[in-house]
Amino acid sequence: KPDRLTIKEKLRHKLGIGRFEHTLGVAYTSSCLAMRYGCNPEDAELGGLLHDCAKQYDNSTLLKKSLKYELPVSEAERQNPSLLHAKLGAYLAQHKYDVQNPEILDAIRYHTTGRPAMTLLEKIIYVADYMEPRRFKAPNLEKIRCLAFVDLDRAVYEIMSDTLDYLKEMPDCIDETTQEACAYYQALFEKN
């Protein structure tokens, strides 16, 4: 059984202090959003705690481990292996931290790119990652911090738009899952 305190202790040693603080921020923020939207707050907290559990690895280690564990590596991930911390994180959450809930694992797997028709837990972790109290320098932070508690889908859409704007400078490195996710949420809000 995954034990939250043991996981925290492990992460505190594995991640640098800044990344550990970010991780706690995402865990608490995810838990708050879960309370707001009727999702299990403990699942959300656990997903938040582990979402960046592979973030300390450098690019060559991320690639090496992903190949070793036979994870699918997209063209964008090959060019920009830091993206792989999400997929590898989901793998490690399952095999090293003993998280078996597939919804939590998917929330970790898709926390960087998002994906079309995300589950409630996926949206919560995705948004919490962007808005947690230790995060600064992201566009529209204040707006998104408020919006997240009013309209979660809209917050997902706004974060994706800002991310896509930022990535437009380097179109080759946009992952196909990011692209599909953006197209999906764009269509959702153009209809309404």
Give the residues lining the site for Fe ion (CB under 5 A): 52, 129
For ligand DGI, the binding residue among 111, 124, 152, 182 (CB under 6 A) is 111
Please, which of residues 27-56 interact with ligand DGI by CB under 6 A? 52, 55
Determine the Cα–Cα distance for residues 66 and 83; give it in Å rounded to an integer.
11
For ligand DGI, the binding residue among 32, 141, 173, 188 (CB under 6 A) is 173
Determine the Cα–Cα distance for residues 84 and 69; give it in Å rounded to an integer.
12
Find the part of the chain contacting ligand DGI (CB under 6 A) among 7-15, 57-65, 92-100, 107-115: 107-115
Q: Which amino acid is at 27?
A: A
* Per-residue CA distances from 185 to 104, 138, 152 (Å): 21, 20, 12
Tell me the number of residues near ligand DGI by CB under 6 A: 16
Residue 141 interacts with ligand DGI (CB under 6 A): yes or no: no
Residue closer to ligand DGI by CB (options 1, 119) is 119
Residue closer to ligand DGI by CB (options 82, 192) is 82
Token pair of 4 as six digits: 């939250």
Q: Other C-beta atoms within 10 Å of 116: how many? A: 14
Token pair of 8 as six digits: 């925290």
Nearest CA-CA partner of 186 in 160, 162, 163, 165: 160
Residues near ligand DGI, by CB under 6 A: 52, 55, 76, 80, 83, 86, 111-113, 129, 163, 167, 173-175, 178
